[in-house]
């Protein structure tokens, strides 16, 4: 769906806040159809970016490190 979003789960390297926010921004842009929302939609757009950023952080924090899962 969003080919420009890079993989943030990497062995031995934690994703930064900036990387998570950039991925969230790309996702919200794709889903909403806005590159930059109108003033009327700016608050909703920004809130969505925040929610997706936090969800990304929670997901990455809860996943086992690559290569450590059950076999």
* Burial of 1 from C-beta contacts in 10 A (0-12 / 13-18 / 19+): exposed
Query: Per-residue pLDDT averaged across 33-38, rounded?
Result: 94
pLDDT exceeds 90 at position 53: yes
Query: Per-residue pLDDT averaged across 30-36, rounded?
Result: 94
- pLDDT, position 39: 96
pLDDT exceeds 70 at position 35: yes
Token readout for 59 is 């997901």
Query: Per-residue pLDDT averaged across 7-19, rounded?
Result: 87
């Amino acid at each position: 769906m969003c080919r420009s979003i890079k993989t943030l789960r990497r062995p031995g390297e934690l994703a930064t806040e900036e990387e998570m926010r950039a991925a969230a921004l790309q996702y919200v842009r794709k889903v909403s159809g806005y590159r930059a929302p109108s003033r009327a939609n700016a608050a909703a757009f920004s809130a969505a970016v925040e929610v997706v950023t936090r969800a990304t952080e929670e997901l990455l924090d809860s996943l086992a490190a690559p290569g450590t899962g059950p076999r």
